[in-house]
Amino acid sequence: MTESLILPVWQSKNPTRLPDLLAEEATFSSPVADYHGRARAAHLLATIATVLDSVHQTRQWTDGREGMFAFTARFADQELQGVLREELAEDGYLTHVTLFLRPYRALRAAIAEMARRLENSPAPQEM
């Protein structure tokens, strides 16, 4: 892995290709919970794309099929710093994506907005 697969999608604000990046059994670990399965993981990652603005990668560390990508983003008038950990299967699909965000005050506000958006568009149920 040399580049993030998720950050360019968030930057483009066009999450329609997210399911094509994820393995069927993919897991997304958010600051709140783990979401299992391609449909659930893609839905959460797509919703995050609508919440975060000005996503900008600042650093990366990669090793084989694993990468960590530091980034900054904005939510409302607050800046967030984050790290995405992306793990690829041998076939090139993402099997696990983990999101770390800080500071807590901005994260808490973003979580509240995510909850509001997920009420209007709930994630698919786990199979």
pLDDT, residue 127, reads: 54
The answer on pLDDT for 79 being more than 70 is yes
Beta bridge mates, 61: 68
pLDDT, residue 22, reads: 97
Alpha helices by DSSP H, 27-103? 38-51
**Average pLDDT in the 72-97 region?**
96
pLDDT tier for residue 118 given thresholds of 50, 70 and 90: confident
User: In percent, how much of the chain has pLDDT > 90?
Assistant: 81
How many other C-beta atoms are found inside a 10 Å radius of the C-beta of residue 87?
Answer: 17
Alpha helices by DSSP H, the chain? 7-12, 18-21, 38-51, 104-120
pLDDT tier for residue 124 given thresholds of 50, 70 and 90: confident
In angstroms, how far is the first alpha carbon of the chain from the final one?
A: 29
Token pair of 40 as six digits: 């659930």
Q: Is the peptide bond before 103 cis (omega within 30 degrees of 0)?
A: yes
pLDDT, residue 109, reads: 92
- Answer yes or no: are the C-beta atoms of 71 and 56 closer than 8 Å: yes
Between 117 and 102, residue with greater pLDDT: 102
Out of 3.10.450.50, 3.40.50.10800, 2.30.110.10, 3.40.50.1970, the CATH code matching 7-120 is 3.10.450.50
